[in-house]
Amino acid sequence: METKTKDLWVFIETNEDGSAKNVGIELLNPGKDLAREQGGELVAVVIGHNTTEAVKAAAAHDADKVIVVDGTEYESFTTDAYTNAMYHLVTKYGPTTLIIGATQNGRDFGPRLSCRLKTGLTADCTGLSINEETGDIAWTRPAFGGNLMATILCSDTRPQIGTVRPGVFKKGAETAPHAEIINEEYHVDESDIRTKLLKVIKDAAEEAVDLEGADIVVSGGRGVGSAENFEKVIKPLASVLGGTVGASREAVDAGWISHAHQVGQTGKTVAPKLYIACGISGAIQHLAGMSGSDVIVAINKDPDAPIFSVADYGIVGDLFEVVPLLTAEIKKLKG
């Protein structure tokens, strides 16, 4: 596709109530500097329904322009509506770069969009910079279950597109808005939306598990030994910290806790402020899902467990002894 501007776009994904998901606002922060280095403006693209709050949030985080597509067909995500809308915008305005949060929806419609545009897409990036030689975005991402990092360039086609993992970048401070707001009327016919949401199924037995958005995650692994021990040992520590319970694949496969809690390659990728791994040896697949956490604590009785190699703090010991003591200490600390 022909580029018409040097602008860098950040897709602002919305929740069903029209507010912005965190990841889009986070990405405006690195986006601002990358846009300047590429000699263009920072543009936030909001797609959703009743998007006032999302537009306001984008404008308060350094966007030079906010392009808005608002309609009932965008209230809940569909591949077709979002792909068609973004394709329309990109071909109309011709940005040089597009960054999309690597949420489930971002990774669903991102590849369809890039394929329709016949351009390159780099998945699930954890690093963004400018390549000095070419001026292209250098997209850095993990592969091989987190064992290998690759830096990828898309030099010959535009826009260069990447999905970026939530939580990797921090939101910038709010500033006085200066953005030009562009309301773009674009609607997708019902007949062009080829999937239909029949039902949202919340597991009644358990509350929603928001691991990706959690500030603190307390995870248990094989060492926890039973579903009962998850309740008795892991959950109390998570609740005193206001955190979410995670688990390794071994614990999930053993049936001690549901897959919604699984952290790692076949589960969720998390990057909380604090990650406490209890009785988790630290297989590569698990490390791939949590090694981006700010502070990692490992509690394991095997001093050679690989989890200690990524931990900031470790205690070699029996989790059944250490974790309840730690829970009590933190309870004391919090008064």
Partner 1 sequence: MNILVCVKQVPDTTQVKIDPVTNTLIREGVPAIVNTYDAFALEAAARLKDKDPDTKIVVMSMGPANAVNALKDCLAIAADRAYLISGREFGGSDTLATSYILSNAVKKIEETEGKFDAIFCGKQAIDGDTAQVGPELAEHLGLPQVTCALEITEADDAHLEVLKEGTDANMLISIGLPCLLTFTKPSFEPRFPSLKRKMMAMRAQIPTIAFSDLPGIDAGKIGLNGSPTRVKRSFVPERKKNGMIISGGTAAENAAKLSELLSDAKVI
Nearer to partner 1, 45 or 137 (CB): 137
Nearer to partner 1, 170 or 202 (CB): 202
Q: Dihedral of the CA atoms 172, 174, 180, 185 (nearest 10)? A: 80
Instruction: Tell the smallest beta-carbon distance from residue 266 to partner 1 (Å).
Output: 5
CA–CA distance, 51 with 261 (Å, rounded to integer):
31
Q: Tell me how far CA of residue 22 lies from CA of 14, 55, 161, 255, 274, in angstroms.
A: 9, 13, 19, 32, 18
Nearer to partner 1, 231 or 313 (CB): 313
Instruction: Tell the smallest beta-carbon distance from residue 74 to partner 1 (Å).
Output: 16
CA–CA distance, 80 with 12 (Å, rounded to integer):
17
Direct distance between the N- and C-terminal alpha carbons of the chain, in angstroms, rounded to an integer:
60
Nearer to partner 1, 65 or 165 (CB): 165
Instruction: Tell the smallest beta-carbon distance from residue 76 to partner 1 (Å).
Output: 9
Residue 105: its H or E element: helix 104-117
CA–CA distance, 332 with 335 (Å, rounded to integer):
5
Nearer to partner 1, 178 or 313 (CB): 313
Instruction: Tell the smallest beta-carbon distance from residue 183 to partner 1 (Å).
Output: 28
Q: By the 8 A CB rule, do 144 and 104 touch?
A: no
Of the candidates 276, 40, 284, the one whose C-alpha atom is nearest the C-alpha of residue 143 is: 284
Alpha-helical (H) ranges within 38-78 are 52-59
Q: By the 8 A CB rule, do 224 and 233 touch?
A: yes
Nearer to partner 1, 17 or 294 (CB): 294
Instruction: Tell the smallest beta-carbon distance from residue 302 to partner 1 (Å).
Output: 12
Instruction: Tell the smallest beta-carbon distance from residue 247 to partner 1 (Å).
Output: 13
Nearer to partner 1, 59 or 290 (CB): 290
Instruction: Tell the smallest beta-carbon distance from residue 250 to partner 1 (Å).
Output: 12
Q: Tell me how far CA of residue 323 lies from CA of 3, 175, 236, in angstroms.
A: 56, 42, 9
The 3-state DSSP class for residue 14 equals strand
Nearer to partner 1, 138 or 181 (CB): 138
Of the candidates 157, 82, 156, 76, the one whose C-alpha atom is nearest the C-alpha of residue 112 is: 82
Instruction: Tell the smallest beta-carbon distance from residue 68 to partner 1 (Å).
Output: 24
